[in-house]
């Protein structure tokens, strides 16, 4: 599919109403929305709840469950485990809750405590064996998932000097990324002594952001990283990989800045997400959603990106989260301060839908 040459639009499919406060994050359940399995989406909000939305046979989404009476403050982040059996939710009440999905029911089976205050983000590694959390206390916690829904904190990472906004695991290796109000992205790996440490800081000194970094996302290969910031830019980074020799990441930092996208949003960019097909979506405080694709006409070795489309007034207020469906490349979910979750479909302007993968 040549995304650069064809003309596309982001078509609003449905508005999901029910939250009574701003919606912070949306997360698609893995292995849904493909091969006849209905798509399932989680959303979390300042109303202290998490809502689970499921697509019916007509394509419409309905609220399947409301997870409430566990968190006592804003639920800031949610993410499904790779198997889809568990959902982790991070809250301003300083806890992370683990929910088990049994049929149509959800039960809180574990509550993780330890952060001093607001927990801002939660992320599972590729096997679902590790869980990372971060918060306003400037720390990143790594939890080992044990049998019987038990979780053991194996490391508390101190390195950021301000509020940590997001944690995200690389999809193909146990490399953890954290981004912060201190304007940096930190890269963490485990050494031979089972100790986690920072091997690289992506900051202003190496072409990084000059203000708060709100979100990061990886392409399907895990070899490219995209980040967004309060500095109104989106940056793309690549993993320096030399197959002919073993690189010591402690000596030779592995990530390199290759591209900066600016001038597309005029207020803080809160969220970026990279689809399996290579489309970067961004959501910002200017109420807009932008889509970017790699510029295949680029004559230099390093990748560059161009705007595929911009959806003005995607929401009535700030767009806090955008996420592509993991099974069907046509669907994008967004969440906003307007209390709304929206489902979008990427289509050609001719009205022809894109083929499913």
Q: What is the pLDDT of residues 191-211, one digit of tens each?
A: 877 789 999 999 999 999 999
Residue 46: strand, helix, or coil = coil
Cβ atoms of 141 and 151 closer than 8 Å: no
Over 60: is that where the pLDDT of 355 sits?
A: no
Rg of the chain over Cα atoms, rounded to whole angstroms, equals: 19
CA dist., res. 199 & res. 254, Å (int):
9
What the chain holds in terms of domains, given with CATH numbers, is 8-348 (2.130.10.10)
Bridge pairing between strands 185-190 and 176-180: antiparallel
Residue 206: strand, helix, or coil = helix
How far is CA 81 from its chain centroid? 13
165-174, 274-283, 292-301, range with the lowest pLDDT: 292-301
CA dist., res. 249 & res. 189, Å (int):
9
Cα angle 60, 327, 226 (rounded to 5 degrees) comes to: 115
pLDDT value for 173: 93
Across residues 233-247, what is the average pLDDT? 75
Over 60: is that where the pLDDT of 141 sits?
A: yes
CA dist., res. 21 & res. 23, Å (int):
6
User: For residue range 251-280, what is the model confidence (pLDDT) as tens digits?
Assistant: 667 999 999 999 999 999 999 999 999 999
DSSP category for residue 68: -
**Cα–Cα nearest to 211, from 184, 237, 234:** 184
How far is CA 214 from its chain centroid? 10
Q: How confident is the model at residue 65 (pLDDT cuts 50, 70, 90)?
A: very high
Cβ atoms of 227 and 219 closer than 8 Å: no
CA dist., res. 123 & res. 131, Å (int):
6
């Amino acid at each position: 599919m040549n995304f650069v040459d064809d003309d596309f639009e982001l078509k609003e499919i449905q508005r999901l109403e029910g939250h009574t406060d701003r919606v912070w994050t949306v997360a698609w359940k893995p292995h849904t929305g493909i091969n006849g399995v209905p798509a399932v989406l989680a959303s979390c909000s300042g109303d202290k709840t998490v809502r689970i939305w499921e697509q019916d046979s007509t394509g419409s989404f309905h609220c399947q469950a409301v997870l409430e009476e566990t968190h006592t403050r804003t639920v800031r982040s949610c993410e499904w485990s790779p198997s889809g059996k568990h959902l982790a939710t991070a809250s301003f009440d300083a806890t992370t809750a683990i929910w088990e999905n049994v049929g149509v029911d959800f039960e809180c089976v574990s509550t993780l405590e330890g952060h001093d205050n607001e927990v801002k983000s939660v992320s599972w590694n590729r096997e679902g064996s590790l869980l990372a959390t971060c918060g306003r206390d400037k720390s990143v916690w790594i939890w080992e998932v044990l049998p019987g829904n038990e979780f053991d904190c194996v490391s508390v990472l101190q390195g950021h000097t301000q509020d940590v906004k997001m944690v995200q695991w690389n999809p193909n290796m146990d490399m953890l990324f954290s981004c912060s109000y201190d304007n940096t992205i930190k890269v963490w790996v485990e050494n031979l002594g089972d100790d986690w440490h920072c091997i690289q800081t992506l900051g202003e000194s190496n072409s990084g952001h000059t203000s708060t970094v709100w979100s990061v996302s990886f392409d399907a290969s895990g070899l490219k990283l995209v980040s967004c910031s309060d500095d109104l830019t989106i940056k793309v980074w690549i993993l320096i990989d030399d197959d002919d020799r073993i690189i010591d990441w402690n000596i030779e930092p592995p990530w390199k800045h290759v591209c900066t996208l600016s001038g597309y949003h005029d207020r803080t960019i809160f969220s970026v997400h990279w689809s399996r097909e290579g489309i970067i979506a961004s959501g910002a405080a200017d109420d807009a959603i932008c889509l970017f694709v790699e510029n295949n006409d680029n004559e230099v070795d390093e990748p560059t990106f161009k705007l595929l489309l911009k959806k003005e007034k995607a929401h009535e207020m700030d767009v806090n989260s955008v996420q592509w469906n993991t099974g069907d490349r046509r669907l994008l979910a967004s969440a906003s301060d307007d209390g709304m979750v929206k489902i979008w479909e990427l289509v050609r302007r001719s009205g022809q839908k894109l083929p499913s993968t």
